Structure formats: structure tokens, C-alpha cells
């Protein structure tokens, strides 16, 4: 049996919450973490059509890109879209999870998928990133306990560096102590000075996993009173939201626009920044027109996003960046198809469906 909580864990593996921007609302919005999930629907939006699709397919989970509850609800009536959807989900025992900017930023997420659809090569991340608070734990232990300690702290979430896990540094030295008469030292003698060979273990961890990691360390440490330090390290940027890549054959703005429209099945708008061929392109799906300047700083000649405001189009094109407004749905929906396939790989016992609205319905334009 797969539970809503297990789905949340799988989402965390592929779209870590630490990637989400601070104002975002990701995670479980509606439902019981212990409820069973046999079938689920993945959708860009929490539209009435997506909820109806859950009901007709017997899906007990709706996983969307766009978060449902941004502001605290004061009422639960029929007066707004959000209230209607929440009430409808509750009535039908359907849970709702949102993976928003965390899935935009994640590897293979919305913007990796967009870059791939656009045929970009040599793709690298750029742009705005969440700031993540980290700590470092330093533990002193006898050599015989080192592997067990590192395993325990890694299982509790320490030692994550990018795509690497169980990252730890060890150095050897001498620890010395005098154990009082009531102490029960694992090594050495009470009421005497003891010098013992110890290993200093260092591991990084997210600030929000300190309690879990310290408990795991205490559980695995052989000493009555483990010696350890928790250090505050400078915050680090998480994975940035945008993707920068190269067109293997540079295209003129009009040619690239036709390429975008074919690749995404859309009718884009373009504001030309230069009459030179475009080689380097920045891409961020959805409403991300404010990322154009970071794309420019990163050497892009063009920027593709879902929605572009008039004054942004004007300014960016005057700064030499050709801007493409390719549609919110068209730039983000492909990333939801990828999300469903990643969830299918992680949780094959759940039947994962993608909700693709009819053109003109449920947030998908005609
Ligand atoms: Zn969006």
C-alpha cells in the first residue's frame, strides 16, 4: 500500500522543498497523510476539470504544479475557486500536493524539460535560487564507531552535497578527559586522566534537520556523553530556477519563434532585441519575465518564458534581449508530463495519469 505520506517523500526526493522560493506554498495542501493512494492525477492546475478527472478515474491524489492555498482560508463556501476546490477535494477524499518552484528548479523539472523541448544543448542552471540555511555537525568518536555514526547521521539527513550523499570528513587526533567518580566511561578509567585516539567526523546538514541528526548521532554514539559541536555555516543558494542553453544552429529571431511554436505547440509573441542570430537562450516557464536580466548577465541573446508584461518586453528588447512570451500552459505543462513519469518510476504501484485539458478549457488556451 502506498500512502499520501510516501508520495510526499517521493516528491521530496525529486523536487526537494529546500529548492522552493520562500514565499511559495509547496507540499500537502489537503488530505490525510495516512490515506492510501492507488491512483493519482498530475496536472498543471487544480482546475475543476482536474478534480473531476480524479473523481471519474477513482484517483485519491491530485499532484499539481500550482499551489492551491496561498492565503489562509477564512471560509469554506462556494464563493471562490479555491474554496470550491478544497471543499470538493474534501468531499471526495482526494488529497492535494503542490510541487511548484521546487519542481521548476529541480533536475529534470519544468525548466530542464522546457530547455529539452526547445532543443537547447550545453544546458546549465542560472537565475534566482532559494537561500538555504545549513549547519555542520562535528562529532568526536573512537574509530570503531565511525562507520556506524556516519551511517546513522546520513540516514537522518546529514551529508547531502548536490547529487552526493553520506558526505563526511574524518581526521584523527587525541581526545583527553577526566571522568568523575559517578561517570561510566566506555573507554578509560574514572578519576584519572585519559588520552584516547579519536576521529573527528564533520558532516553538513540542513538547519531543519538538526534535531533529527543529533538524535541519530546520540543513538549511534558509544559514549555516555558524546562530544559534538553544531556550527552555523553561511547560507548557500539552492538550485537556480532558470536554464541557459545553446542552439546548435543559431537562428534569427523569426526562425527561433517558429521553432518555439512547433516545439511547444503554441503561438508565441516575440520582441526583437537584435537582428543578429540567436545562439544562447535563457528559459524559465510560467510567469518569470523578471528573470530576463539574469539571462542577459549570463550571456543570453534571447529569453523564453510563459508571460511577458509590456514594460518588461520593452526594456529587455532595448537591452538587446529578444523576448518570447510562449504561454504559461505551453511552457510548463511538458514539465508535468516529466513529473508523472518520475513519480511512476519511484512509485510504480500507483497508477499515475496526466491531466491534459481540452484546448480552451481548464487553463489551457485555445
Ligand atoms: Zn506556473
What distance in angstroms lies between residue 307's CA and the mean position of ligand 1's atoms? Answer: 10
Per cent of the chain over pLDDT 90 is 95
Q: Is 10 helix (H, G, I), strand (E, B) or coil?
A: helix
Check residue 66 and give its pLDDT.
Answer: 98
Residue 192 has pLDDT above 90, yes or no: no
The rounded distance, in Å, linking the Cα atoms of 129 and 283 is 15
Better-predicted residue by pLDDT, 185 or 351: 351
What distance in angstroms lies between residue 42's CA and the mean position of ligand 1's atoms? Answer: 14
CB count in 10 Å sphere of residue 148: 14
Q: Over the stretch 201-260, which tens digit does the pLDDT of each residue have?
A: 999 999 999 999 999 999 999 999 999 999 999 999 999 999 999 999 999 999 999 999
The rounded distance, in Å, linking the Cα atoms of 65 and 67 is 6
Nearest one of 111, 90, 88, 95 to 7, comparing CA atoms: 95
Residue 190 has pLDDT above 90, yes or no: no
What distance in angstroms lies between residue 312's CA and the mean position of ligand 1's atoms? Answer: 18
Cβ contacts of 207 within 8 Å, gap of 6 or more: 133, 134, 135
Nearest one of 134, 141, 138 to 162, comparing CA atoms: 134
Q: Is 178 helix (H, G, I), strand (E, B) or coil?
A: strand
What distance in angstroms lies between residue 101's CA and the mean position of ligand 1's atoms? Answer: 9
Check residue 184 and give its pLDDT.
Answer: 83
Q: Please give the mean pLDDT across all residues of the chain.
A: 96
Phi, psi angle pair for 219, to nearest 5°: -65, -30
Q: Is 111 helix (H, G, I), strand (E, B) or coil?
A: helix
What distance in angstroms lies between residue 243's CA and the mean position of ligand 1's atoms? Answer: 16
The rounded distance, in Å, linking the Cα atoms of 256 and 247 is 9
Check residue 176 and give its pLDDT.
Answer: 92
Residue 180 has pLDDT above 90, yes or no: no
What distance in angstroms lies between residue 110's CA and the mean position of ligand 1's atoms? Answer: 9
Residue pair 40/354 in contact by the 8 Å Cβ criterion: no
Q: Taking residues 80-98, what's their average pLDDT?
A: 97
What distance in angstroms lies between residue 67's CA and the mean position of ligand 1's atoms? Answer: 9
Check residue 342 and give its pLDDT.
Answer: 98
Residue 181 has pLDDT above 90, yes or no: no
Q: Taking residues 83-97, what's their average pLDDT?
A: 97
Residue 182 has pLDDT above 90, yes or no: no
What distance in angstroms lies between residue 65's CA and the mean position of ligand 1's atoms? Answer: 7
What distance in angstroms lies between residue 248's CA and the mean position of ligand 1's atoms? Answer: 28
Residue 332 has pLDDT above 90, yes or no: yes
Residue 117 has pLDDT above 90, yes or no: yes
Q: Taking residues 162-175, what's their average pLDDT?
A: 94
Q: Over the stretch 118-142, which tens digit does the pLDDT of each residue have?
A: 999 999 999 999 999 999 999 999 9
Q: Over the stretch 281-293, which tens digit does the pLDDT of each residue have?
A: 999 999 999 999 9
Check residue 357 and give its pLDDT.
Answer: 97
Q: Taking residues 85-111, what's their average pLDDT?
A: 98
What distance in angstroms lies between residue 60's CA and the mean position of ligand 1's atoms? Answer: 23
What distance in angstroms lies between residue 189's CA and the mean position of ligand 1's atoms? Answer: 64
Cβ contacts of 364 within 8 Å, gap of 6 or more: 329, 333, 356, 357, 358
Q: Give the CA distances from residue 200 to residues 187, 196, 232, in Å, rounded to whole numbers and listed in that order.
A: 17, 12, 17
Amino acid at each position: 500500500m502506498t500512502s499520501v505520506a510516501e508520495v510526499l517523500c517521493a516528491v521530496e526526493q525529486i523536487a526537494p522543498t529546500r529548492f522552493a522560493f520562500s514565499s511559495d506554498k509547496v507540499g500537502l495542501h489537503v488530505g490525510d497523510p495516512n490515506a492510501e493512494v492507488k491512483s493519482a492525477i498530475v496536472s498543471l492546475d487544480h482546475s475543476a476539470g482536474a478534480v473531476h478527472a480524479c473523481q471519474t478515474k477513482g484517483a485519491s491524489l491530485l499532484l499539481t504544479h500550482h499551489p492551491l492555498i496561498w492565503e489562509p482560508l477564512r471560509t469554506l463556501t462556494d464563493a471562490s475557486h479555491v474554496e470550491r476546490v478544497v471543499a470538493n477535494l474534501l468531499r471526495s477524499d482526494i488529497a492535494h500536493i503542490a510541487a511548484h518552484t521546487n519542481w521548476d528548479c529541480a533536475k529534470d523539472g519544468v525548466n530542464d524539460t522546457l530547455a529539452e523541448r526547445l532543443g537547447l544543448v550545453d544546458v546549465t542552471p542560472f537565475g534566482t535560487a532559494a537561500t538555504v540555511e545549513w549547519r555542520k555537525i562535528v562529532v568526536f568518536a573512537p574509530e570503531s564507531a565511525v562507520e556506524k555514526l556516519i551511517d546513522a547521521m546520513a540516514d537522518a539527513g546529514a551529508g547531502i552535497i548536490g547529487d552526493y550523499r553520506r558526505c563526511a570528513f574524518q581526521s584523527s587526533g587525541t581526545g583527553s578527559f577526566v571522568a568523575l567518580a559517578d561517570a561510566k566511561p566506555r573507554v578509560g578509567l574514572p578519576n584519572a586522566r585519559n588520552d584516547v585516539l579519536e576521529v573527528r567526523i564533520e558532516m553538513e546538514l540542513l538547519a531543519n534537520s538538526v534535531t533529527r541528526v543529533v538524535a541519530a548521532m546520540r543513538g549511534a554514539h558509544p559514549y555516555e556523553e558524546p562530544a559534538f559541536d553544531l556550527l552555523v555555516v553561511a547560507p548557500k543558494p539552492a538550485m537556480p530556477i532558470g536554464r541557459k542553453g545553446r542552439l546548435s544552429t543559431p537562428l534569427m529571431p523569426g526562425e527561433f519563434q517558429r521553432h518555439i511554436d512547433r516545439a511547444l505547440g503554441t503561438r508565441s509573441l516575440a520582441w526583437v532585441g537584435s537582428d543578429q542570430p540567436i545562439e544562447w537562450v535563457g528559459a524559465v516557464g510560467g510567469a518569470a519575465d523578471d528573470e530576463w536580466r539574469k539571462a542577459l548577465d549570463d550571456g543570453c541573446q534571447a529569453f523564453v518564458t510563459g508571460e511577458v508584461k509590456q514594460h518588461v518586453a520593452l526594456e529587455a528588447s532595448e537591452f538587446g534581449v529578444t523576448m518570447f512570451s510562449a504561454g504559461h500552459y505551453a511552457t510548463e505543462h511538458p514539465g508535468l508530463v516529466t513529473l508523472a513519469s518520475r513519480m511512476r518510476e519511484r512509485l510504480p504501484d500507483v497508477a499515475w495519469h496526466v491531466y491534459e485539458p481540452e484546448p480552451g478549457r481548464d487553463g489551457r488556451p485555445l
